[in-house]
Amino acid sequence: MATNIKITTPSDPTLVPFGRLVDILQAAFADQDDIVDPPSSAKLVDVVELKWRFSRDQLFLAQDAAARVVGQIWVEDVGKDAYLYKLAVDPALKGGGIGKLLVETACDYAKKAGKDNMRLHVRIELVGNVAFFESRGFEVAGEGIHDGFERTTFWKMARRLSGS
Ligand SMILES: CC(C)(COP(=O)(O)OP(=O)(O)OC[C@H]1O[C@@H](n2cnc3c(N)ncnc32)[C@H](O)[C@@H]1OP(=O)(O)O)[C@@H](O)C(=O)NCCC(=O)NCCS
C-alpha cells in the first residue's frame, strides 16, 4: 500500500519540479520502447511542454514522506468528460499502490467537477496497463489509429463518474 504517499495539486508553477517529472516519465516509459509502435510520446516530453500543459491542465503529484515527487497524473477538461494522461510512477516504486492512488484522486476530482466520465487512451500492446485500468473501473469504449497506421494502435477507455 502507498501508505506514506501524499497526493498534492500544486498551483504555483515555480514550485513544480518539471525536470523531475520529465525524468519520471522517461524512466517509467523506457521499458515500452521495444513494445509499442509508434513509440510513446512520453519519450519526447520536455520541461517546455510540461510547463505549457501545466497552464492548461490539472496536475496531481505523488510525494513520499520526504516530499520527493514519485509519480504524476495529468487531467484535461474535455467538455462533459475529463481525460487523464501521462500517468507515471517512479519505476523503483512500481506495484506499491501509487498508480491506483493517482487514478482514484484524478477520478474524484473530475467527479466533483461534474464530469460524466474519465477517459484515457492506452496502447493495444500494453495488456498489463489495460488490466490495470479495468481493475480501476474503466472499460474499452472504442479504438483509435495513430497517423500513418492502418491498424488499431490504441484503445479508448472510459470510466463512468456520474451516478457512481
Ligand atoms: C501503470 C502504472 C502507472 C501503475 O502504477 P503502479 O503504482 O505501479 O500501480 P499500482 O501499484 O497502483 O498497481 C495497481 C494494480 O495494477 C497491477 N499492475 C500495475 N501495472 C501493471 C502492469 N503493467 N501489468 C500488470 N499488472 C499491473 C498491480 O499489480 C496492482 O494489482 P493488485 O492491486 O492486484 O496488486 C506504472 O506501472 C507506470 O508508471 N507504468 C509506466 C507508465 C505507463 O504505462 N503509464 C500508463 C500509460 S496508459
- Domain membership of residue 69 (yes or no) is yes
- For 1-35, give one letter per residue: b (16+ CB within 10 A) or e: ebeebebeeeeeeeebebeebbebbbebbeebeee
Q: What is the DSSP-derived secondary structure letter of residue 40?
A: P
Q: Whose alpha carbon is nearest atom 10 of ligand 1?
A: 97
> Is the model more confident about 117 or about 42?
117
Pocket (CB within 6 angstroms of ligand 1) = 28-29, 87-89, 94-100, 122, 128-129, 131-132, 135
Within-domain flag for 129: no
State the chain's mean pLDDT as an integer.
95
Q: How many domains does the chain have?
A: 1
The cell numbers describing 72, all together, are: 504524476
| 54 in any annotated domain | yes
Structural domain of 28: 6-115
Per residue, what are the HEC states of 45-66?
Answer: CCHHHHHHHHHHCEEEEEECCC
Handedness of CA 66, 72, 77, 83 (dihedral sign): negative
Share of the chain above pLDDT 70, in %: 99
We report the CATH number of the domain holding residue 109 as: 3.40.630.30
- Per the CB < 8 A criterion, the answer to whether 23 and 80 are in contact is no
Q: Report the atom number in ligand 1 closest to the C-alpha of 88.
A: 39
**Ligand 1: residue whose CA is nearest its atom 16:** 132
Instruction: Specify the residue with its C-alpha closest to ligand 1, atom 15.
Output: 132
